[in-house]
Every structure is written in C-alpha cells, then in structure tokens.
Amino acid sequence: MLKKVTALSILAAVLGLGLTVPASYAQVSNETPDFSGKSPADFAAEETMKEVAIGGVPMGRWKEGLLFEGISPQPWLTSAANWLPGTEEVQPDEMRITFMGTAPMLRPGQMNTSIYVELGNGDTFIFDMGEGAVANYLASGIPINRLNDIFLSHLHVDHFGSLPWVYAFGAWSGRWHEPLRITGPSGRTEKDGVSYMVEGMKQMMHWHREAFSVFPVAWEIEVNEFDFADAGGTAYEKNGVKVIHWPASHAKDGASGYRLDWNGLSFCFTGDTRPNTLDIDYCKGVDVMISETQPEVVAISSGVQGVPPFVGRYTIDTHHTPSYAAGYVFDKVQPRIAMTTHMPYDPYINAETIAEIREHWKGPFHFGAPDMVVVNVTKESIWVRDGVIPDYPNVRAPNADASIQKYGGLIVPTPTYQREDIQSQFIRDAEIDPDLYYPEGYKPVLMEHWPTDKPIFIPEELVPESMKSTSKQKSD
C-alpha cells in the first residue's frame, strides 16, 4: 500500500500535479507511542513482517560484497566482526588460519611473513616464521614452548627471522621434552638447505645457548629437509594431516610452496614465487588459497616508500607475483576463498591490488593482511575477521602437556651449568651485597644457585593449572 502511494507521489511530482498529503503524515507527535492493547489487525501483515524481519542478508534476499555462497560467520563465533584471544575454541571439524606476519617490510602493523594453522584435532602448524611475527603469536595467547612444527618456504630472512628467538626462549620457557621441529627445502648445494641454516643458527647462538644453560633447557632441533625439486613430495604426514610441497620460482633453487590437507579441509600457500603452473596443479580444489602478491605500482610506490622503480620492477619480475597474476592463478585453482599476503597493506595501493586481482578472479577474496586476519574454515562456511590483540600483552605460562602425558607430571631438567662454570669470580665479586639495597624485612629468599643436580619431578596435581592446556581436544 505504502509503495503505491510513494510511486504515485513520484509520478505526481514528475507531472507537476498537486497531491494531497494525508494529515497523519504531516504531524510529528511529541508523545512516546503506546502500542499496548492493539490487535493483530493494527500491525503489518505477517507476510510483510517476515520479509522485514527474516528476509535479509545472508538469508538469501541478495548477495553483496564478500557474501558469496558459503561465506558466512559460523554460529559459535563470539563475534562476527572480531576475534579475541582466548574466547573461542577451534571446533572438532574446523581449521583456523591466522596471519601473524604479512609483509616483507617490517612495521608495527605488519610483521614479516608467518601463517598459523590450527586444526580441530589439536594440531598446530606454522608456515614461515618471519621477524617480529612472534609478538603476534604471544599476544594471541600461545605459550612460547608451543611455537613448534615450523615449515619454512625458503631461507630469505623475512621468512625465518624469528627462529633464533623461538629457539632460545622456547628452550627457556618449557620446551623440555620435545625438539624444535623445523621442516624446509634443500637447495642446490648442501649449504643452501635448511639443515645448514639451522647449524649456522646454532653457531651464531653459541654464547646464548651456553648462557641459557644455567637454566633448565633443551636444545634439540629436529630438522626435516626435503628435496626442493620433488614436486608434490610429502613434507609431513601424521595424525591425519598431510603437507605436500613443490618448487617455487624465486630466483634461486630451494624455495617451496605448501599445501596442508586434513579432514576434508585444505589450504595452500605459494610462499614467495613468480606465478607458475605448479601452484595451479597443487593448489587445485583447495578451500583457502593464499598467494603472495606485489602490487605493480612501482613508480608510485617509489615516491611513497623510497624503493627506486627499477629495483621494484626487477624484484617483482624475478621473484614475485603481480596482482594480475595472482587473480589469474586463483581463477585456475577455483578455491573457496582466495587471499593475498606478503604485501604492503596501504590504502593508496589496496584498491589497485583488488582491481588487478578482479581482472581474472571473480570469486570470494580477502586480503591476508595486515597482521591478525583470522580465517575460520569448515565444510559449510568460511569467515574472515580482524583479530584484536592488546598492545602490551603478557606471555602465557609454558604448556606442560607434553611432559604430563609422557611422565604423569612435569619434569624440570637439570641445568648444564651453575654460574661459576661460565662466569669469572671477579665479576660476581663486584656485585653489590643485597643486604645494602633490600630494606629491612623485605629481603626475599634468594635463589642464587640451582638447588639440585637432579631433575625435578612435579606430580600432575601440583602443576599449576595455567600450565595445562585448556583445550578439550588437547587434554582428552
């Protein structure tokens, strides 16, 4: 009825005809309306009510923006807008992907590349561990000693720069009963493979490893180096999870792309690469495809961020995936959602990047940048949100699950050294006597020596709750 009046009014206006406005339209009431005592006939017809109340997006009235088939928030999310640490558990049939680092250039909102994959079976995986990304992992509430099972796409430092920190502080923070596990490609020579890098890292960290050996620590690293040329080879297979790899074209032998499959869900990550047919072959039919991309506005970018245009041009054309190409590859792969990462997330570039990707790819798309983009993936739907983390979070307690499961309690290993073993006496002689600075009655009981030369067994009931996994999947 209202529609007819409105149409008639417009027609009348167009024709220049006068139209009597109903008196009730012309009056603005100063009173709060009172609907009590009204009968159903006083309200809009049920058909109209349903159209208004339950006929909207994403229930089928129309599609808008990212709301393609199968792109909708899952019912258990505490918010469809934001993810917050510690508020949601990964569901038994769910895969959750978080972008912990998203750019080759470091800046506060974009750490170096790292993608965190959590599965409903409790397994977690890290694809690349770029500089600074560890800050986002810790802010997300992940214990330091759970930063493990790291897959490296290649050995550019923006893809593994956090490793020394993870190695040392994970050892200090409870990674006592399992090695740090690192998987990555070989190279053309022995020196180009991931094993050689790890040996070099150990040497670089000689002082640090000795110094931290006054603590309970474990320094084992398990390296799984696969043949970089073995396209489609298995990098990992355990617990229903399979990770395959293939060569990426990144100006030097020894760069890889990865795909993970579990429980009918999958994601692939191209690593750093020129667009290539292997990505199309091995990502085919994947749920979430993550491609690196470099926007091709090299002249504009040079004015903004200072990289000379010829350096930008040459870097892209020998190492990286232009956004037109990312869209081209997405279209061949037909993922349920396509994402780009390893990109500057800048308002002056983003629209251009999307326009280039849209040249070929018309399906669901979301930036895998800036940091803390969170993707929930199930067979029914996929949803992407911004994760919100505090600026000044504190680290979570080390996780003692591995020790409890193996030994029925937490075993604290014996430090290799006391201070006397690695520090000259004259330096400690110069320390100020604590009695001089602690006020009377405030002096703590000092622990200047590790109290035993035997490992310490703490039975499960005495292990602090904060050191046990709160995840049902992990404790079951």
| Interface residue list for Zn ion (CB under 5 A) | 104, 156, 158, 272
Looking at beta carbons only, is 237 or 317 nearer to Zn ion? 317
Q: How far is the CB of 248 from Zn ion (least distance, A)?
A: 9
Looking at beta carbons only, is 104 or 387 nearer to Zn ion? 104
Q: How far is the CB of 346 from Zn ion (least distance, A)?
A: 17
Q: How far is the CB of 110 from Zn ion (least distance, A)?
A: 12
Looking at beta carbons only, is 158 or 356 nearer to Zn ion? 158
CA distance 146 to 169: 11
Q: Which amino acid is at 143?
A: P
Looking at beta carbons only, is 336 or 342 nearer to Zn ion? 342
Looking at beta carbons only, is 156 or 245 nearer to Zn ion? 156
Q: How far is the CB of 88 from Zn ion (least distance, A)?
A: 30
CA distance 395 to 100: 16
DSSP string, 233-298: EEEEEETTEEEEEEE--SSSS--EEEEEEETTEEEEE--S----HHHHHHHTT-SEEEEE-B-S-H
Whole-angstrom CA distances from 305 to 269, 299, 341, 344, 463 are: 27, 10, 18, 10, 51
Q: How far is the CB of 184 from Zn ion (least distance, A)?
A: 13
Q: How far is the CB of 232 from Zn ion (least distance, A)?
A: 22
CA distance 467 to 325: 46
Report which DSSP code applies to 140.
T
Looking at beta carbons only, is 104 or 174 nearer to Zn ion? 104
Looking at beta carbons only, is 145 or 341 nearer to Zn ion? 341
- Please, how many CA atoms are within 13 Å of residue 106, restricted to the half-sphere of its CB? 12
Whole-angstrom CA distances from 194 to 225, 227, 242, 253, 256 are: 6, 11, 20, 12, 12
- Does residue 194 contact residue 184 with C-beta atoms inside 8 Å? yes
Q: How far is the CB of 214 from Zn ion (least distance, A)?
A: 36
Output Rg (C-alpha) for the chain, integer angstroms: 29
Q: How far is the CB of 251 from Zn ion (least distance, A)?
A: 8
Strand positions, DSSP E, 30-179? 82-83, 95-101, 114-119, 124-127, 150-151
Looking at beta carbons only, is 180 or 343 nearer to Zn ion? 343
Q: How far is the CB of 309 from Zn ion (least distance, A)?
A: 20
CA distance 117 to 263: 14
Give me the count of residues in the chain: 476
CA distance 361 to 277: 16
